[in-house]
Structure formats: C-alpha cells, structure tokens
Structure 1
Amino acid sequence: MEYIYAALLVHSAAKTVDEESVKAVLSAAGIAVDDSRVKALIAALEGVDIEEAISKAAAAPVAVAAAPAAAGAAAAAEEAAEPEESKEEEEENAMAGLGALFG
C-alpha cells in the first residue's frame, strides 16, 4: 500500500508520478524501496487519469449515502430478498475502477 500512497502523494503535489519521485517519497518515509515494485506500479499507472479514478472512487459511496430514507427502507427490504452473490458482484464492480488505478 505504501507504494500506492507514495504515488498519490506525488500526484497531489502536482509532480510527475515516475520512478524517481516515488522512490524519493518512499525513502523519505524510511521504507526500503523495492525497484521492481516501483517499476510495476509506474507501468500500471501509465495511461491512467489519477484524478478521474479518485473522483469515481469517491463518488460511489456518496451516491449511496445520498439516497432518501424512505427509499432506503424499500431498498433494505429488496436486499433481504436478493441472494448474497448479487451483493458481492456489486462490490466487485464498484472496486473495478480502483483495480485499474492500482494495477
């Protein structure tokens, strides 16, 4: 996780997320840097719009929390009738965008 956090920290500082910058953040935090993990992270982030991925990940819980209370009671009754697999599939789909961000 610390590698991902380092990349997010570099991104939030409006710097280019590259091997050198991620290594610098990890070293500053006192973490022994594994060059292969850094290279894999940078390769996974290539072509990914980090801002967009963050906004999509942050928007999903907000959309669920914004549902009115009356609709929540009806949804709870429907969820009780749904099989457990359906809930797991929904969670996996919601996390799919994060998987693209983290490789």
Structure 2
Amino acid sequence: MEYVYGALLLHAAGQEIDEEKLKKVLTEAGVQADEARLKALVSSLKEINIEEVLKNAAAAPVAAAPAAPQAEKKEEKKKEEKKEEEEKAASEEDAMAGLSSLFG
C-alpha cells in the first residue's frame, strides 16, 4: 500500500512516476523498497490516467453503503432488547399472580 501512496504523492507533486523517484520517496519514508514491486507498479501506472481514476473514486458512494447495514443491526438489537424486557416483565407478572393466589 505504501508503494501506491508514494506514487500518489509523486502525482500530487506533479512529478513523473518512475522507479528512481518512487524508491527515493519510499526510502525517505523509512520503507525498504522492493525492486520487483517498484517495477510492477510503475509499469502498470504508465497505462492509467491517475487523475481520471481519482475523480471516479471520489464520485463513488463507497462510504454510504456500509452505514446502512449497521443501522439495521442497531434497529434489530433494539427490537430484541425490547422483546426481552417485555418477556421478563410478563414472567414477573405471572410469578406475582401465582404468589397472590397462595395467600388468597
């Protein structure tokens, strides 16, 4: 992941993304750069318009999708807790009714 971050940093700085510059960025960040990974990333990025990818990624509603299931889980949990409380209250009422029948 740090290789991609380094490439994005070079892109943001307006620099050409090549192996030498990317290796220097990674080294300065304290990452020991792997030559094979550098070559693979640089060669794959030559065919990609990074600016276009960033625009499309920013427009995608990725963050909204995971929030919906969490809200549903919270609703279900609240419903379950409410049912448990109602069942507990009903069983306590039954127990009290049984005790009152003992004493008349």
TM-score in terms of structure 1 length: 0.59
Q: Of the two, which has the highest radius of gyration?
A: 2
1:19 partner letter: E
Equivalent in the alignment of 2:95: none
Please tell me whether residue 24 in structure 1 is matched to residue 21 in structure 2. Answer: no
Give me the identity figure in percent: 52
The runs of 5 or more residues in structure 2 that have no matched partner are 69-104
**Normalised TM-score (structure 2):** 0.58
C-alpha distance in 2 between matches for 1:26 and 1:49: 22
| Partner SS state of residue 47, structure 1 | coil
- 1:24 deviates by 0.7
Corresponding residue SS for 1:4: helix
Q: Distance in 1 between matches of 2:49 and 2:61?
A: 20
Count of aligned positions? 65
Q: Which runs of 4+ in 1 moved over 6 A?
A: none
Matched, 1:48 2:48: yes
Structure 2 residue matching 1:30: 3-state secondary structure: coil
Structure 1 stretches of 5 or more lacking a match?
A: 66-75, 77-103
Two-structure CA RMSD over aligned residues (Å): 1.8
